[in-house]
A and B are shown apart, each in its own frame.
With several copies, the nearest count.
Chain A
């Protein structure tokens, strides 16, 4: 009953970058029907995309036999997106800060930072069967 007011979309995908656009499009449709404005639709879409890229690339190491599960939970006042891979996981505390002066000129390492900048809350759950990252965006956030 707790879930009664929530719509959910669950995507269970093979590890293949050609599904990035599909995830993107679903994210756009979901955030649009929820009433997010154009800017937020864009940044949420980018965050979800970055999360799925990480799940496929770093998590599943592009092993097409492994799966990525993306779940959109549309509550009345917020969207939660969880992205689950089948990789070994990682410790987010060990990820270098890309805006520290010594990292500014590095060619990578900006994905998680962007996600954290655009979403209201990001949590990481290292689970026995893979890594889960969970993104939250409130409709009323400034």
Chain B
């Protein structure tokens, strides 16, 4: 898993790529989000376009990030789910938990 971070206005976008699975260093994602929250960041987008594999632990990791953000009064939204990830989140009812967007402009606009 790789993460690179960028700012668009007051929104932080995290471009995540690779695998989010057990065994990969998924704590990295959680820690990155925690650091942002600690620094007062309230608007976070995870761009998952280049996540080519995710398993149930990876889903749990995304849920943890969401829960932590929520508890700090911040918003964490998901951008560019792959077809497989969307299917997985539909089955596990996580689409009801997350706000998801199919393009960056809409994700950004949703914070306005």
Is there a direct interface between A and B, measured as CB atoms under 8 Å apart in the complex? yes
Residues of B within 8 A of A2 (CB): none
The answer to whether A46 touches B55 (Cβ under 8 A) is: yes
Bound: A113/B88 CA distance, A: 11
Residue-wise, chain B 29-71 has the 8 Å CB interface mask toward A (1 for contact) of 0000000000000000000000000011101110110110000
Residues of B within 8 A of A105 (CB): 63, 66-67, 97
Contact count band on A: 20 to 34
Chain A contact residues: helix, strand, loop or mixed: helix
Residues of B within 8 A of A17 (CB): 22-23
The answer to whether B84 touches A110 (Cβ under 8 A) is: no
Would you give 9 A-B contacts (Cβ < 8 Å), ordered by A? A20-B23, A107-B60, A107-B67, A108-B60, A111-B55, A111-B57, A113-B92, A114-B56, A114-B92
Which residues on B are within 8 Å of A, measured CB to CB? 22-23, 55-57, 59-61, 63-64, 66-67, 84, 88, 91-94, 96-97
